[in-house]
A and B are shown apart, each in its own frame.
Chain A
Amino acid sequence: QSALTQPPSASGSPGQSVTISCTGTSSDVGGYNFVSWYQHHPGKAPKLMIYEVNTRPSGVPDRFSGSKSGNTAFLTVSGLQAEDEADYYCSSYGGRNNMIFGGGTKLTVL
């Protein structure tokens, strides 16, 4: 199965909101409510930010939210802060007991 499609980059100023998309197919993103988003600062372990489309793990600020429409999922970061600058990856269950990742989006806080 092919990787999910994410924009390579996104940016916003402190305090603004930014939305990152993640496009798959009806066999993955569109077929299951098992979309997750991960924050990755280079050199560190990736961190789960959103799972099952729109659920935040404990400890993740409510500035982070997720949604889905058809075959595309979205991560919205509101009230951007400097520490939000990182790479963000989406993933989706792809059937047959495997997970698929997006190519990643580099978020820059201007």
Chain B
Amino acid sequence: EVQLFESGGGLVQPGGSLRLSCAASGYIFNNYAMNWVRQAPGKGLEWVSVFNGGGGGPNYADSVRGRFTISRDNSRNTLYLQMNSLRVEDTAVYYCVKENLPGTTFEHWGQGTLVTVSS
């Protein structure tokens, strides 16, 4: 059974930093692209970033490019999101999401971790 468990959320001041982690189990982690998707309070889902499997690289939404860095440790089956220069509008539940093998959909989702940016 695929399981994704996010951690690292919390309250941070504007301009601050936070690192999210996602521990994956139940499948061969390094074979699959992994994403972060967020949902701000009362808003819809927003794709944030992807780290491709099989040696591919990262990509980012324009709203976070230059501030967020996605990475993965295949030896630990863990995905990360380093968030710097945080803004109030980054407040959201952040979901760790596994793609399917062709990379055409978001197949499995974690429960999410809440990030609150506020002074």
Question: Footprint of B on A, CB under 8 Å?
Answer: 3, 34, 36, 38, 40, 44-48, 51-52, 57, 89, 91, 93, 96-104
Contacts and interface: CB of A to CB of B under 8 A. Distances in A.
Given A46-B95, A96-B59, A57 B107 contact: yes
B44 A89 contact: yes
A59 to B, nearest CB: 12
B109 A46 contact: yes
Contacts of A99: 35, 47, 50, 106
Contact of A98 (B50, B105, B106, B110): B50
B107 A48 contact: yes
A45 B52 CA distance: 22
A47 B97 CA distance: 11
B105 A48 contact: yes
A57 B61 CA distance: 27
B75 interface: no
Given A45-B109, A45-B110, A98-B50, A34 B104 contact: yes
B89 interface: no
A45 B44 contact: no
A51 B105 contact: yes
B73 interface: no
B105 A52 contact: yes
B104 A3 contact: no
B44 A36 contact: no
A99 B95 CA distance: 14
Contacts of B106: 36, 38, 46, 48, 91, 99
Contacts of A51: 100, 104-105, 107
The 8 closest A-B pairs by CB, nearest first: A51-B105, A104-B44, A45-B109, A36-B105, A101-B45, A97-B59, A103-B44, A99-B47
A45 B112 contact: yes
Contact of B45 (A46, A97, A98): A46
A47 B105 contact: no
